[in-house]
């Protein structure tokens, strides 16, 4: 007979819960999707322009990668209105002193806000987070940053921040799963076109074994 400690039983229960939540996520259910839809309704009800970015933007554009939070762009004015209307009414700062990171009090999911004009790579550059009114598109009833802007933001982030290489991998995954053409580079800012083309070339051989590639 196998005996398990209390810590092992708790760990097993937590793992089961985590796997169940993961399944719900890919079925467009669960805490993160619920938080996203609730937030979108609240923002639209208050006439606050927004654009979803990050992992949920990937999902809305057709590439399903699990994420544990909701990221979005607001204008500085939209952020102020968010604080005025939402804090204490469904949302709270995620930690003491947080100005742009909040949590949905019903789901405990983190909501992170980036404002228009911020630099995605942490340093001044040619690409900034856009105005959500001019750089978003409707997907499943939710405003998400356009695919071109999403890819631009991820490319410049991955190129300028050494801890954001996941962003470059996301672009490569988008190329593969959406079948994006090499010519898509022409829709991007010139500063990231070469990196898009490099990732596109690498994507053409993704999944090939060492004996499967042509000489």
Tens digit of each residue's pLDDT (9 = 90 or more) over 48-62: 999 999 999 999 999
Is residue 18 scored above 60 in pLDDT?
no
| DSSP conformation class of 131 | P
Q: Is residue 213 part of a domain?
A: no
Q: Is residue 211 part of a domain?
A: no
Q: Is residue 2 part of a domain?
A: no
**Residue range(s) defining the domain that contains residue 179:** 21-203
Backbone angles phi, psi at 164, to 5 degrees: -120, 35
Coil, strand or helix at 81: helix
Coil, strand or helix at 74: strand
Q: Is residue 13 part of a domain?
A: no
CA–CA separation, 107 and 200 (whole Å): 38
The reported pLDDT for the residue numbered 152 is 97
Q: Which two tokens stand for residue 33?
A: 């999707």
pLDDT tens figures, 88-142: 999 999 999 999 999 999 999 999 999 999 999 777 888 999 999 999 999 999 9
Backbone angles phi, psi at 49, to 5 degrees: -65, 140
Q: Is residue 16 part of a domain?
A: no
pTM over 0.95: no
> How many domains does the chain contain in total?
1
The CA distances from residue 14 to 18, 19, 20, 125, 148, in Å, are 6, 9, 10, 43, 38
The reported pLDDT for the residue numbered 210 is 45
CA–CA separation, 194 and 200 (whole Å): 10
Supply the CATH number for residue 145's domain: 3.30.460.40
Tell me the angle at which helices 30-45 and 76-86 cross, rounded to the nearest 10 degrees.
Answer: 100
Q: Which two tokens stand for residue 140?
A: 């499943």
């Amino acid at each position: 007979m196998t005996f398990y400690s209390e810590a092992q039983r708790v760990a097993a229960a937590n793992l089961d819960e985590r796997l169940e939540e993961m399944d719900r996520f890919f079925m467009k259910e669960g805490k993160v999707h619920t938080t996203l839809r609730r937030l979108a309704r609240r923002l639209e009800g208050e006439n606050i322009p927004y654009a979803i970015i990050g992992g949920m933007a990937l999902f809305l554009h057709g590439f399903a990668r699990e994420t544990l939070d909701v990221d979005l762009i607001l204008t500085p004015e939209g952020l102020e209105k968010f604080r005025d209307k939402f804090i204490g009414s469904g949302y709270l700062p995620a930690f003491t002193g947080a100005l742009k990171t909040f949590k949905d009090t019903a789901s405990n999911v983190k909501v992170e806000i980036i404002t228009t004009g911020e630099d995605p790579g942490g340093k001044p550059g040619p690409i900034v987070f856009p105005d959500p009114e001019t750089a978003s598109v409707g997907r499943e009833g939710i405003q998400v940053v356009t695919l071109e802007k999403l890819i631009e933001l991820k490319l410049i982030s991955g190129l300028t921040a050494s801890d954001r290489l996941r962003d470059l991998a996301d672009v490569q995954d988008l190329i593969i799963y959406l079948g994006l053409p090499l010519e898509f580079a022409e829709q991007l800012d010139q500063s990231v076109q070469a990196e898009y083309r490099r990732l596109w070339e690498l994507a053409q051989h993704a999944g090939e074994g060492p004996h499967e590639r042509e000489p």
